Structure 1
Amino acid sequence: MDSEKLLAILRLQATKNIGDILAKKLITATGSVEQVFLEKKNTLHKINGIGTHVTQHLFDENNLKRAEEELTYIQQNNSVFSYFLDDEYPQQLKHCIDAPILFFKEGSLNLNNDKIISIVGTRNMSSYGRDFCNQLVEDLKEHNPIIVSGFAYGVDICAHKAAIKNNLQTIAVLAHGLDEIYPKTHKKYIHQVNENGGFITEFWHDEQPMRENFLKRNRIVAGLSKATIIIESAKKGGSLVTADIANSYNRDVFALPGRATDVYSKGCNSLIKNNQAHLLTSAEDVVKMLNWDIPKASIPIQNKLFVDLNETEQKIHDYLQQSGKQLLDIIALDCNLPTYQLSSILIQMELKGAIKPLPGKMFEV
């Protein structure tokens, strides 16, 4: 990636009031991330969600200066990163509307494996939770999944260590820059994680582990994975937020049940009770729900159902069939179509009975 493009991406990341959703909308509407900063303000104001309160920050010279400093660091340290429009950007994460436009990574990551699961839970895990986590990962070993977690105390680090012990790749998603580490006591695991996977973060190299960063991190933990597993949780906690996010992404969620009187089983029991998570009693539950027990060769490939779809319509249909229901803006990004053109195509596909619209500008096959 050339310096001009990377600088523009970093400027967007540095701009106040522009999150990942709005950043993607700007890039889609203008045609490229570089063009965002070449457009006139009056043109940008015509984009839904963009007003003077956004553009006044967009062209702030302080943001440009910060972005230039981070660019220099990246170039001097050969930092590795992924842009959301790049082919190597994780496909599961690409399907999430609020996924980071850019994230940094280190280690020996290989995200080609489509069997990716997240394991999260309380920092105050019991021996019951620890034993179950270790056994679960060991029993899943034959399916060679990638284990994702947040590198925190308790369930997170237990999941990472269990993956390493069973020679499985593990990904630690951080709530700070790669030059920092939290908690400090987990420094001793850095080499092992890098040797067996690696680290991912959307935060710049020297970003501190601020409280709000952990909630942002949780969406990456959920978005990378096909399923999120909650080992133990109190009635409130970050792992329940991760479960909510995973549900919003239409990903499977599993929860380990516990005794009604156990404080750190209340959250999991509530998820199961309210049909927000599948009951998890063994690795077999995960394997069956995710169809890991079905050989790929035996999964029938569906023929075209709508013979009157043109090439572009078929491309959109195949995309939605693979990714599930998706937002209009994300379909436009992933299928490389202008939003105005896509809207017209989707109407034609709806009339043909190939797709159906959902609330919130979402569509599904």
Structure 2
Amino acid sequence: MDQNRLSLLALHFIPGIGNQLIRQLISYCGSAERVFKTPRGKLMKIPGIGAVTADSIRLGKPFSDAEKEMQRAQKEDVTLAFFTDKNYPSRLKQIADAPSLLYCKGNINFETSKTIGIVGTRMATPYGKKLVEELMLDLAPHEPLIVSGLAYGIDIVAHRQALKNNMATVGVMGSGIDVMYPASHTETSTKMLKHGGLVTENPFGTRPDAHNFPARNRIIAGLSDALIVIEAAEKGGALITAEIANSYNKDVFAFPGNIGQRFSEGCNALIRSNKANLLTSVKDLEYIMNWSVGTQPEKKKMFFDADAYSADEQEVIKVLLENNRQLAIDDIGWRTGIAIGRLASVLLGLEFKNVLAPLPGKVYKLLE
């Protein structure tokens, strides 16, 4: 069993440690395995780590839970995708509060050229269902990955229509990957495993508690190039997802609805407040996203002579290129796996070579 992967998983079973602290620990220690070998005193010097957390890390009790979790994942054909893995979705790596671990099941290609999130009310009307059906039919030539939340209403209609039109679709769950909620969607989720799949950040056995769903919504937003809201009340999960998508600088779209209708209020408000583009057909989406059938996104190229830089320097340059050319030092450390102490020296060397420049807040930016 890979000790570093086991250590990564064990970090998730330490009480009080979330995604941000896991990143912080790995950034300062260099790897998950080294976190558990770091003396208590040094752990407590890491921002956010107190005496209780340091003691929990040093005791190493989470390893038994991690071993059981890893064995269960292997038994149930579930892939554990850590933030540092190559198979972790590149779109999620670009958001600050990305999950440090994903449980994935099925046949999922996260790196499709176009990914579209679909969200909406759980109380879908015939109007909303018809919009989904027509939208999916028109989207099919683009061959996008359709992402939604497996909930009642618009979500499940989107998944089913995607399958009907031979599009891959991923359901982001607010529970453990072994806990289907609602249970009535089990048949659809089973079909999705062949052409898409299921994703969650929650460990096996996690119940679909209310607080899990706002967190689930950020994954839907983060995975999407474009987020489409189809019917939403004045308040609800769909609007929360739209707000999150806007904070990630994602393109948000909404179908308008009849004035005075409850499940049109949310969409109309998004459009009125310029928080969503007006969507009347796929042509609006194609125009704003600059999409045409068969188009592929531009690949980011390494415009540097690799031979002129060390392996660590190349890794830093690569990570910056993949993340809008600038990142905070902790994020660079997390994404590259280079310990903070060594990373500071690498960044200084690149600064002397006029490759990057420091910005306020310990942020580093690649120079043109």
Instruction: Give the TM bin, normalised by the shorter chain.
Output: 0.7 to 0.9
Number of aligned residue pairs: 361
State the Cα distance separating 1:24 from its structure 2 match.
1.1
Q: Which residue of 2 aligns with 1:177?
A: 176
Equivalent pair of 1:9/1:33 in contact (CA under 8 Å)? yes
Write the deviation string for residues 107-145 of structure 1: whole angstroms up to 9, x where unpaired.
121223121111011101122211111111211111110
Equivalent pair of 2:118/2:148 in contact (CA under 8 Å)? yes
Query: 1:104 aligns to what SS in structure 2?
Result: strand
Equivalent pair of 1:358/1:364 in contact (CA under 8 Å)? no
Relative to structure 1, the CA distance from residue 364 to residue 311 in structure 2 (aligned partners, 3 Å threshold; closer, same or farther) is closer
| Amino acid in the other structure paired with 1:253 | V
Equivalent pair of 2:30/2:340 in contact (CA under 8 Å)? no
Q: Give structure 1 stretches of 5+ with no counterpart.
A: none
Equivalent pair of 2:4/2:32 in contact (CA under 8 Å)? yes
Query: 2:245 aligns to what SS in structure 1?
Result: helix
Structure with the bigger RCO (C-alpha within 8 Å, sep 6+) is 2
Q: Which moved more, 1:188-197 or 1:287-296?
A: 287-296
Q: Which residue of 2 aligns with 1:286?
A: 285
Relative to structure 1, the CA distance from residue 267 to residue 119 in structure 2 (aligned partners, 3 Å threshold; closer, same or farther) is same
Q: Which residue of 1 aligns with 2:262?
A: 263
Q: TM-score if structure 1 supplies the norm length?
A: 0.86
Q: Is residue 2:204 matched to residue 1:205? A: yes
Q: Is residue 2:123 matched to residue 1:124? A: yes
| Amino acid in the other structure paired with 1:89 | Y
Equivalent pair of 1:100/1:202 in contact (CA under 8 Å)? yes
Query: 2:118 aligns to what SS in structure 1?
Result: strand
Write the deviation string for residues 53-99 of structure 1: whole angstroms up to 9, x where unpaired.
43244346654443333233234444322111111111001222222
Q: Which moved more, 1:350-359 or 1:246-255?
A: 350-359
Separation in 1, partners of 2:48, 2:36: 17
Write the deviation string for residues 251-292 of structure 1: whole angstroms up to 9, x where unpaired.
111122223312112222222222222221111222222222
Relative to structure 1, the CA distance from residue 176 to residue 249 in structure 2 (aligned partners, 3 Å threshold; closer, same or farther) is same
| Amino acid in the other structure paired with 2:335 | D
Query: 2:284 aligns to what SS in structure 1?
Result: helix
Relative to structure 1, the CA distance from residue 295 to residue 357 in structure 2 (aligned partners, 3 Å threshold; closer, same or farther) is farther
Q: Which residue of 1 aligns with 2:8?
A: 9
Q: Which residue of 1 aligns with 2:252?
A: 253
Q: Which residue of 2 aligns with 1:87?
A: 86
Relative to structure 1, the CA distance from residue 205 to residue 301 in structure 2 (aligned partners, 3 Å threshold; closer, same or farther) is closer
Q: Which residue of 1 aligns with 2:137?
A: 138
Separation in 2, partners of 1:210, 1:321: 38
Q: Is residue 2:95 matched to residue 1:109? A: no
Separation in 1, partners of 2:337, 2:140: 37
| Amino acid in the other structure paired with 1:201 | T
Relative to structure 1, the CA distance from residue 354 to residue 24 in structure 2 (aligned partners, 3 Å threshold; closer, same or farther) is closer
Query: 2:103 aligns to what SS in structure 1?
Result: strand
Q: Which residue of 1 aligns with 2:334?
A: 333
Q: Which residue of 1 aligns with 2:191?
A: 192
% identity of equivalent residues:
37
Separation in 1, partners of 2:265, 2:364: 33
Separation in 2, partners of 1:234, 1:326: 37
Q: Is residue 2:47 matched to residue 1:48? A: yes
Separation in 2, partners of 1:226, 1:297: 13
Query: 2:12 aligns to what SS in structure 1?
Result: helix
Query: 2:211 aligns to what SS in structure 1?
Result: helix
| Amino acid in the other structure paired with 1:43 | K
Equivalent pair of 2:178/2:205 in contact (CA under 8 Å)? yes
Relative to structure 1, the CA distance from residue 295 to residue 157 in structure 2 (aligned partners, 3 Å threshold; closer, same or farther) is closer
Q: Which residue of 1 aligns with 2:33?
A: 34
Q: Which residue of 2 aligns with 1:150?
A: 149
Separation in 2, partners of 1:281, 1:355: 44
State the Cα distance separating 1:4 from its structure 2 match.
2.4
Write the deviation string for residues 225-249 of structure 1: whole angstroms up to 9, x where unpaired.
1121111111111111111221222
Write the deviation string for residues 183-218 of structure 1: whole angstroms up to 9, x where unpaired.
011112122111221111112222211111112211
Relative to structure 1, the CA distance from residue 335 to residue 186 in structure 2 (aligned partners, 3 Å threshold; closer, same or farther) is same
Equivalent pair of 1:121/1:156 in contact (CA under 8 Å)? yes
Separation in 1, partners of 2:126, 2:348: 52
| Amino acid in the other structure paired with 1:148 | V
RMSD of aligned alpha carbons: 3.2
| Amino acid in the other structure paired with 1:73 | R
Equivalent pair of 1:15/1:58 in contact (CA under 8 Å)? yes
Q: Give structure 2 stretches of 5+ with no counterpart.
A: none
Q: Which moved more, 1:65-74 or 1:279-288?
A: 65-74
Equivalent pair of 1:95/1:330 in contact (CA under 8 Å)? no
Relative to structure 1, the CA distance from residue 109 to residue 303 in structure 2 (aligned partners, 3 Å threshold; closer, same or farther) is closer
Query: 1:211 aligns to what SS in structure 2?
Result: coil
